[in-house]
Chain A
């Protein structure tokens, strides 16, 4: 895990982007530590807030010169609603960078980046990294509705290989991101696939990539109470290097996992062969 810092960050910008909010935060020492796939945990409502748990967001961009990090967030519940009401100049207590970043194979690779909704937020810094190593990227960006898409223009500025899907068919192909997946992987001869979005998307992408014999890395979004690895709320079943499955913490062992290591169909259960299952009466 990255060595996170806790900082009072100043809100430099908070503005709408499509159906989401773009939040730019300035804080010393954080941007230069950020790798693609890292996230930030934001305390909402100040030190007396009745909302005790931080809200986590993927870092979209980090600019070490300006000392800023940028996130893209959707209003979901109380915390993100409150965040959307903040104003430039306000300060937020943040902890970042958090988590394990995406693994990037060395050298020139052809990578397919698949994202649902704001899941595309971490994909552009990743694309830059892959391209800086001489590789190339293609995108499949999907969402339920057009206003839930994020980064389509940004993706098109990087590559002509951009497919867009919406479930309501308002933009691009009607259906889910997984619909054109196999074809897209073959078209760009993808050597690696990256995915970020809801669990069912990650599961489908990991399954398809594995079936095609392609490496796949997924960034998960489990409910997190602490974000730093102490509370054990954010776990999911993952196969370790030693072949043993354990409940791994999404906040420190993840959020970026090798997609073939996550036991997707057993997320939310206690697999019978996971370490310590017997003590839970699961056999």
Chain B
């Protein structure tokens, strides 16, 4: 490795990967991205869940949701477009049938929650208090707000504020509340600021970007929902920009600094390192899991090696290093 800006290469085994998470820490920074690892059962066949810093569940609503009709996906260059529509059996089913299984395996579970109304987010949060295995909540703000013309919560600092505040109010104080942001906004830092002011203990970014694929045989949009979410390496530069921008605003003192969970196209340890250097304290692997089901643990190993090769003895030394 040619680039050793700091002390020279270290032994990867000696790198301290302890990662800031909410007001506390996790043993390492790698999580799975919501919707890309189910509830853990399937990827557990490819890596022990307890070795990951955390696993993020797919987004759970208070009630069962069928999701959209198929086709729900299209492959795109270095990415994919999905329109799953948050299929799930609801929060009670999760708490009863999925969470205990995860807890038994020592998984640290970041539960992604959502609703179509502010109260629905709070309803989910309430049911997660005191449950073994749960280490935090991620409010997926990319849900349409039925009380606000179906506009996505995360598009608006005020509605984002309302959700985070409602969740923070009912959630157990020991559980960090993360707000998951979208990059499909004029100013992601304005939304980030609103979330932190409302009490968010961390920010997850970014969710998928809105896109459309048109089927040139049927001459119609390929997904039944017309547009869908673009993910994968194709969106990585956008995601790294968002993390960089929000971290810069925190450094400039525009609002309180909270840990950032970065995601968007992470496929390798070096991809993850970009997010860390931009200001992320944690990273989540998403679409890459579909290509390589053992990607999360591989990314962790590669990140450890990449930090060591650049002389970073501690992950925390590298967080935001690109701003120095």
Interface membership of B88, Cβ < 8 A: yes
Given the interface pairs A6-B46, A54-B291, A280-B65, the reply to whether A232 lies near B75 with Cβ below 8 Å is: no
Task: Produce 1/0 per residue, A6-25, CB < 8 A to B.
Answer: 10000000000000000000
How many Å lie between the Cα of A274 and that of B78 in the bound state? Answer: 34
List of B residues within 8 angstroms of A225 by Cβ: 73, 75, 80, 82, 290
The residues in A between 230 and 280 inclusive whose CB is less than 8 angstroms from any CB of B are 230-236, 247, 252, 267-270, 274-280
Max chain A CB contacts within 10 Å: which of B73, B84, B232, B267? B73
Tell me which residues across on chain B come within 8 A of A109, comparing CB atoms.
none
Q: Which of B41-84 contact A (CB under 8 A)?
A: 41-43, 45-46, 58, 61, 63-73, 75, 77-80, 82, 84
Instruction: Report yes or no: B87 in contact with A247, Cβ–Cβ below 8 A.
Output: yes
CB neighbours of B80 from chain A (8 A): 52-53, 225
Contacts of A274 in B (CB 8 A): 66
A142 touches B (CB below 8 Å): no
Count A/B pairs, Cβ under 8 Å.
126
Q: Given that A231-B73, A235-B70 are contacting pairs, would A276 and B63 also be in contact in the complex, using a CB cutoff of 8 Å?
A: yes
Q: Does B99 contact A (CB under 8 A)?
A: no
Is A223 located at the chain interface by the 8 A CB criterion? yes
Which secondary structure dominates chain B's binding surface?
loop
Interface magnitude class on chain B: 35 or more
Partner of B289, one of A223, A226, A233: A226
One of A52, A222, A277 near B78 (C-beta < 8 A): A52
How many of A's residues come within 8 Å of B, CB to CB? 41
Is B187 in contact with chain A by the CB < 8 A criterion?
A: no
Q: Is the CB–CB distance between A275 and B66 below 8 Å?
A: yes
> What's the Cα separation between A50 and B233 when bound, in Å?
8
Q: Tell me the smallest distance from the CB of A61 to a CB of chain B, in Å.
A: 24
Bound form: Cα–Cα A235–B46 in Å? 22
Q: Given contacts A236-B70, A268-B69, A277-B66, are A231 and B84 in contact (CB under 8 A)?
A: yes
Contact, CB under 8 Å: B233 / A52: yes
Do A50 and B77 form a contact, CB below 8 Å, given A3-B45, A276-B87? yes
Chain B residues, CB < 8 A from A228: 42-43, 45, 293
- Nearest-neighbour CB distance to chain B for A273, whole angstroms, equals 10
Beta-carbon contact of A229 and B38 below 8 Å: yes
Instruction: Kindly list chain B residues whose C-beta atoms are within 8 Å of the C-beta of A95.
Output: 293
Known: A53-B80, A53-B291, A228-B42. A276 touches B64 (CB 8 A): yes
Interface string of B274-312 (1 = CB under 8 A from A): 000000000000011111111000000000000000000
Complex-state Cα separation, A234 to B73, whole angstroms: 9
By Cβ-Cβ distance, the 3 closest A-B pairs, closest first, are A276-B66, A276-B64, A230-B38
Q: Which residues does A use to contact B, with CB under 8 Å?
A: 3-4, 6, 43, 47, 49-54, 93, 95, 222-223, 225-236, 247, 252, 267-270, 274-280, 282
| Given contact pairs A47-B268, A233-B72, A268-B71, a sample of 10 additional A-B residue pairs in the complex whose CB atoms are under 8 Å apart | A4-B45, A52-B288, A223-B70, A229-B41, A232-B35, A232-B67, A233-B71, A233-B84, A234-B70, A278-B63
What are 12 inter-chain pairs, A to B, with CB distance below 8 A?
A47-B267, A52-B233, A52-B288, A229-B42, A230-B37, A230-B289, A231-B73, A232-B87, A233-B70, A235-B67, A235-B72, A280-B65
Q: Which residues of B contact A (CB under 8 A)?
A: 35-38, 41-43, 45-46, 58, 61, 63-73, 75, 77-80, 82, 84-85, 87-90, 224, 232-233, 267-268, 287-294
